[in-house]
Amino acid sequence: MSTASSLNIERKVLELGTPLLLDGGQSLPEMRVAYETCGTLNAAKDNAILICHALTGDHHVVSDHPKTGKPGWWVRMVGPGKPIDTDRYFIICANVIGSCMGSTGPASLAPDGEPWAKRFPVITIRDMVKGHIAVLDALGIDALHAVVGGSMGGMQALSLASNFAERTRAALVIASTARHSAQNIAFHEVGRQAIMADPEWREGNYYAHGKGPEKGLSVARMAAHITYLSEAGLTDKFGRRLQNREEKTFGFDADFQIESYLRYQGLSFTDRFDANSYLYITRAMDYFDLAEEHGGMLANAFAGSKARFCLVSFDTDWLYPTAESRNVTHALNAAGLPVSFVELSAPYGHDSFLLDVPALDRVVEGFLG
C-alpha cells in the first residue's frame, strides 16, 4: 500500500515461549499474538502507544483489513500529523487472544492438531492484556507513553493501567466501563444463545463442517449492532423509509431500510468473524469487573498506578453511558490520580468513538501531548 513506507507499518506474530497462565486457572501453550506496529520506536523506547481494539476489531488499526480490504479501523485517528501521530509515536495494536485474526483463539489448532473449539479456556480482559504485555516485553518496552482504547479496548486500557501499573504512564479510555452491567450481559447472552441455538454450531465443533453457525452469528451481530447506535441516529439515518420500494409489501421481506441494513450487517459479519471467538470474547467482557478483581473497591484497582488518565464518554451512548465513565473518574479521584473526564456530544451512539467526531480528535491529541 502506498502509505506503508511513510507509516512504517509492520505486521508481526509473537510466538510466546512459555505457556500463558490464565485467570481461570488453565494455561495456554503455544500462544501466538498477532500485532501491527507503525511509526518508529525511539532509542529510549519511551514513545510507544498501545491501541487496544474492540470486541469484533483487530490489530489492523491503519493497514487494510486482510479479509474485507477495507482501510484500517482507526485511520482517521492514527497517522502522520493525526491525533495519534505516527511521526512522533510508535503505535502498537495487538489482536486479543480469543479472537480470530491471528492471535490464538478457539479456531486455532490445539497441540493435538485439531481446533481448540470449545476446549479453548474461557479468558478474561486481563488475560488479553497479558498477551499485550508479552508483546511489550518482546519489543523491550518497559513503559508505554499511553495505552488507548474504546469500548472493549477501554476495558483493556483500564486493566493494563491497573494490573500492570508500571507499564504505562497514561491511559485514555473512550466509551467504556469498568464493569459490565446487567443490561450489557443480557444483550451478550442473547447473542450467545442465538449462536448456540443454531444447529450448525455443533457444540462448537463446526470447523470441519463448512461455514458454521452463520445464521445464529448473524442474529447475534444484529442484536449487538442496535446497541452500538443511538435511537435518534437510527431515526435520522433510516427512520421508517422503505428499501427500494414505494409501498409496504405486506410480507416478511426487508420492507424497511433499517431491516435491510441490519440483515447486511449480520450477514457480512459472518464472513469475517468466527462464532466461537464471539462467544469467548463476549464472555470475557461480561466477566469484566475491575473493582471485583481488587476487593470490590474500584479505587483500589489503581493503588499501584502513577499514570495520567483521560475518560471520554458520548452523550448518546446507551451501551456504556456517561455514568460508567464518571464512576471510573470518581475512583481515580479517590486514588489521588490525575484524571480528566469529558462527555462529548455526538449523534452516533456508542460507535461515536470510531466515527467522525472532531471533538474527540482534539481530546485525544491534547491528552497524548
- Annotated binding-site residue numbers for substrate: 221, 351
Which of 266, 305, 313, 357 is close enough to bind a copy of itself by CB under 8 A?
Answer: 266
Least gap, CB of 171 to a copy of itself (angstroms): 23
Query: Does the active-site annotation cover 151?
Result: yes
Which of 29, 66, 80, 239 is close enough to bind a copy of itself by CB under 8 A?
Answer: 239
> Three-state secondary structure along the chain?
CCCHHHHCCEEEEEECCCCEECCCCCEECCCEEEEEEECCCCCCCCCEEEEECCCCCCCCCCCCCCCCCCCCCCCCCEECCCCEECCCCEEEEECCCCCCCCCCCCCCECCCCCECHHHCCCCCHHHHHHHHHHHHHHHCCCCECEEEEECHHHHHHHHHHHHCHHHECEEEEECCCCECCHHHHHHHHHHHHHHHHCHHHHHHCCCCCCCCCHHHHHHHHHHHHHHHCCHHHHHHHCCCCECCCCCCCCCCCCCEHHHHHHHHHHHHHHHHCCHHHHHHHHHHHHHCECCHHHCCCHHHHHCCCCCEEEEEEECCCCCCCHHHHHHHHHHHHHCCCCEEEEEECCCCHHHHHHCCCHHHHHHHHHHHC
Which of 101, 141, 279, 298 is close enough to bind a copy of itself by CB under 8 A?
Answer: 279
Q: Which of residues 241-260 bind a copy of itself (CB under 8 A)?
A: 248, 250-252, 254, 256, 258-259
Binding of residue 130 to a copy of itself (CB under 8 A): no
Q: Which residue has the cell 479456531?
A: 107
Which of 219, 281, 310, 311 is close enough to bind a copy of itself by CB under 8 A?
Answer: 219
User: How many residues bind a copy of itself, per CB under 8 A?
Assistant: 56
Binding of residue 234 to a copy of itself (CB under 8 A): yes
Cα–Cα dist 253/267, whole Å: 15
Binding of residue 104 to a copy of itself (CB under 8 A): no
Least gap, CB of 183 to a copy of itself (angstroms): 5
Query: Does the active-site annotation cover 356?
Result: no
Least gap, CB of 33 to a copy of itself (angstroms): 21
**26 vs 40, beta carbon nearer a copy of itself:** 26
Binding of residue 19 to a copy of itself (CB under 8 A): no
Which of 238, 300, 355, 361 is close enough to bind a copy of itself by CB under 8 A?
Answer: 238
Query: Does the active-site annotation cover 103?
Result: no
Binding of residue 321 to a copy of itself (CB under 8 A): yes
Q: Which residue has the cell 486455532?
A: 108
Stretch that binds a copy of itself, among 4-12, 44-52, 216-224, 358-366 (CB under 8 A): 216-224
Binding of residue 138 to a copy of itself (CB under 8 A): no
Binding of residue 297 to a copy of itself (CB under 8 A): no
Q: Which of residues 335-364 bind a copy of itself (CB under 8 A)?
A: none
Do residues 55 and 281 touch, judged by C-beta distance below 8 A? yes
Cα–Cα dist 153/169, whole Å: 17
Which of 117, 262, 312, 328 is close enough to bind a copy of itself by CB under 8 A?
Answer: 262
Give contact residues for a copy of itself (rule: CB under 8 A).
23-25, 121-122, 179-183, 185-187, 189-190, 192-194, 196-199, 215-216, 218-219, 222-223, 226, 229, 231, 234-235, 237-240, 248, 250-252, 254, 256, 258-259, 262-263, 266, 279, 283, 286-287, 289, 292, 318, 321
Give the residue numbers annotated as catalytic, written as ranges: 151, 317, 350
